[in-house]
Structure formats: C-alpha cells, structure tokens
Structure 1
C-alpha cells in the first residue's frame, strides 16, 4: 500500500482525498444487491470493483441504501461522493467527474413470452403506435431515443415508473403493463428469483447499449483523484481478479 501511494505521489496524482468516500446502492443484481449472508454492506460486481479500487487508494467506502434519484441529486449537491453504475450524458457531466468505463450494459424490454409475437417493435415510435404500456425506472438513462420520445405527451400516458425490478415484473405478469424496460441481465436474474424466467422473453430491439462508469461529485472530489482512480482501475481490469459472471441467459 505504501509503495502504491508513493508511486501515485511521484506521478503527480492524488491518492485519498477523504478518510472515507460515501456511496449508495440500489437493488440491481448481479451488480449490486443485499448481502445474502446478512451483512449490512451490499455485494455484487460493481460493489466489488469500487471497494477494491478505493481501498487501493486508502479510501474505504461508506455505503448507504437509498433511491437512485436521491443519490444522483446528492452527487450534484456534494452530499454523496461516488455513485455507480452511471451512463454518460451531458447533464450529469456538468456536476460529476466520470471514471473510465468499467463494464457494459444493455437496455432491453422484456414482455410475456406468450405475447412476444404481438409486439414487432423496431423503434420506440412503434410502441406509441401500438399503445404499448411500459414500466421503467425513473431517473435511469435509457439513451437519446428514449429521452426524446419520453417528452411526447402521448407516450407519457403509456409510461409507468417504479424503482423495484420485481414489482415491475409483477406488473407485467399481471398484465398491468405490456413490457418492462431495464438492464437485461438484472431483469432476467430477478425473474429467475421470482420463478418467472420461463414466462418472459426479451424484445430483440436494442433500446440502448453503452459502457457505464463511476461518477464523482465535483463538489467534493478533485479532478486529479480521478486520474489516480483510473490508473488503479486499469490495472485491476487487466488482472485475473477482475470480477466475471458465468450466468449468460439468451436475450432472444
């Protein structure tokens, strides 16, 4: 540890800037979720990566469980130091530093398997034409196409927001919505946990594919710390210890 901190110092990059860094988590398996062994801190791939990199910089993470929108607001206000996973968009870049990307995510719509052929969706405009009722996670970035059509009042009447994947999937199973939009692996894992994996299917149309980042509050974290963070992250990504996940369900 001392050698690492000395190396960072000699290259002109900052190491730890606070005794602890505050972060928050939401239920988003396999990336972050409640510790099944009963621990108070979350577990998951994003959690493992952030804990490892920050600990290498002698900056342990203090975790909170709270809604995503509140966390994003606290990043902007400087009440929270770091947050993940975050897609890049210009609005967030005004108040947050972005780390190098650390994994990819795929935003898809899942529907009831029995109804999949009813929805030959090739764009979000198709959804509007077919009066497709959609559940989404408020505050999540689903890409420029969704951002544009979300402002259409005719589309807004078809949107249902909820921050709990399993509650949104229950809405689908009870035909209260026609589809659920979200990170596809997380949705499929929650469906599997609910015993509903065989009842749903994924629409082929890619709503948004992108890489995600850790973001840091510009009010509490200096920019040169991000250089140090990225250096450690790059080394970690190139090692055999970097998290992987063996469950690879089809998105068809």
Structure 2
C-alpha cells in the first residue's frame, strides 16, 4: 500500500513540475503607427524596429508575443489596468509615473534637423540657438515639445515667430518644401521610412547631423500588470543579450540607418 502511495505521490509531483515547465509564457504588447519603429506591412502585420526587436526578446525568453494595435492613450490605460505587459518606445506622460516601471534603454530616438539641398546656409550654423538668432524659421512636431532641447529653444531670445509646431511630419515637410520654413526637426526613423518608400516630400532634403540630437528610449511595464517587475527583469536580460550578439545593430541598419549619423 505504501508502495502504491509512493508511486501516486511521485506522479503527482512529476505532473505538477511538468505543468509549471510547460506553462505558457506570453507578452501582451501594445503598438501604434510610428514608422520605422512600428508600422503595418501590406499584409496588415506589424513590423519595424520595435516590433522585430520585441519578437527577438520573445524568442530569447521563450515567450509568445501578442501585439495589439491600440491608440497611445488607451495603451497607457490598459497597461495600468494589467491588460498589457509592455509599451514600446516612450514613457507615459501626464499619469502617475509611480505606477510605471522602465526597462533598460534599448535604443536611441534620434531627432534629425533637415534642410533643403538648395538652402545650405542654415546648415552652416553651429547650434539650434544660432539658427533662431540668425532669423531662420524651422518647425517640429508638437509631441516633441517636452524635450529639453525644444523647451530651451521655445523660450530663447528671438524665438517668437521663428518656431512652428504641427501635428505630423508630412505637414512640416510640405512647409519645408514650399519654403515657408528653413528647416525641420523630425524623428530620423520616420524620415528613413519615407525615403524607403520614395516619398517625394523627402527627395530634396538633407540631414544636418551637428544640429541633431537624440533621446534614450526604454520599454514600459507597470506594477499593476501581471508580473510587471518580473517581466522588466527578464526583458532587461534579453536586451543585454541582443546588444552583445549584434542583433540590435542589425535592426538599426535595416530600419533606421541614419541613427549612425546622429551622435
């Protein structure tokens, strides 16, 4: 009888251990259109640097990655509600940041200064402050207004009437091509994407590296998400591996080649 109970106990423990080892690992990840970091292929499937990077993280951790296409503000809410595990590429603003947990930095987000090929003089100045002082006009996306560089420019002497903000890159590029402004500050990855699809708005523009800058970018989880802190620790270990084995650099060259030009 004891022998039979022992066998039953053995199989019970073995079954429990097997269930734990085969427990499904899943990462629920929010995304939105942010070429060339996140965008839809013709098939409707997501791709871009962030998307392919997270796929590699899932592979490294042995986790299935489920992407959900959701507007940004809803992503923030669903992360706080525990319905998403990760947000990509930025830090929530205007919310209780104590709820959120950042991974290690996994990429830079270069902000490139672009001018027309026919207007080299604006690119000869040494700083954005000098651009404003010299009377040149330029524009940037109003979503980027919180960067230290933009805040400094907005309050700098002579900035009134010289700095334009718009909601999207194409609006700024139209104003640049029509010579209403002399330069634009845009996410270089978005410009890389527009060049890859031969968009005429970027045909005659040139990057000015020394007037450009970059932000460091992390992924975001939440203490309210299921296993939020655990997820961040695991993702950090995968980020380290992808940096060391060259996978990150390969994705940069594929999706955002101008990264290498902006220090």
TM norm structure 1? 0.72
Q: Give the deviation of 1:95 after TM superposition.
A: 4.5
Residue 194 (structure 1) aligned with residue 199 (structure 2): yes
Cα pair 2:31 2:68 within 8 Å, conserved: yes
Q: How does 1:55-74 map to 2 (within 5 A)?
A: 56=61, 58=63, 60-66=65-71, 68=72, 70=73, 74=77
* CA positional deviation for 1:112: 0.9
Q: Are the structure 2 counterparts of residues 65 and 116 from structure 1 closer, same or farther at C-alpha, using a change threshold of 3 Å?
A: farther
**Residue 233 of structure 2 corresponds to residue 233 of structure 1:** no
2:50 aligned to which of 46, 50, 69: 46
Asked if 2 retains the 8 angstrom alpha-carbon contact of 1:166 and 1:191, the reply is no
Structure 2 CA distance for aligned equivalents of residues 57 and 93 of structure 1: 29
TM-score w.r.t. the length of structure 2 is 0.69
- From 159, 165, 172, the equivalent of 1:160 is 165
Q: For 1:198-217, list aligned pairs within 5 A.
A: 198-217=203-222
> Number of residue pairs matched?
235
Gaps of 5+ in 1: 10-14
Partner of 2:119: 115
Residues of 2 paired with 1:166 and 1:172: CA distance? 10
Q: Which deviates more from structure 2 when the two are superposed, residues 224-233 or residues 152-161?
A: 152-161
Q: Show the 5 A alignment for 1:21-100.
A: 21-29=28-36, 31-36=37-42, 38-39=43-44, 41-54=45-58, 56=61, 58=63, 60-66=65-71, 68=72, 70=73, 74=77, 78=81, 81-86=85-90, 94-100=98-104
Larger C-alpha radius of gyration, 1 or 2?
A: 2
Cα-to-partner distance string for 1:53-87 (whole Å, 9 max, x where unaligned): 24635352332153x5x367547854754222237
Q: How large is the Cα RMSD of the aligned pairs?
A: 3.9
- 1:104 corresponds in structure 2 to 108
Offset from partner CA, 1:23-53 (integer Å, 9 cap, x none): 1222321x222213x22x3201210111332
Mapped partners of 1:47, 1:181: distance in 2: 24
Correspondence 1:169 to 2:173: yes
Q: Which has the higher helix share?
A: 2
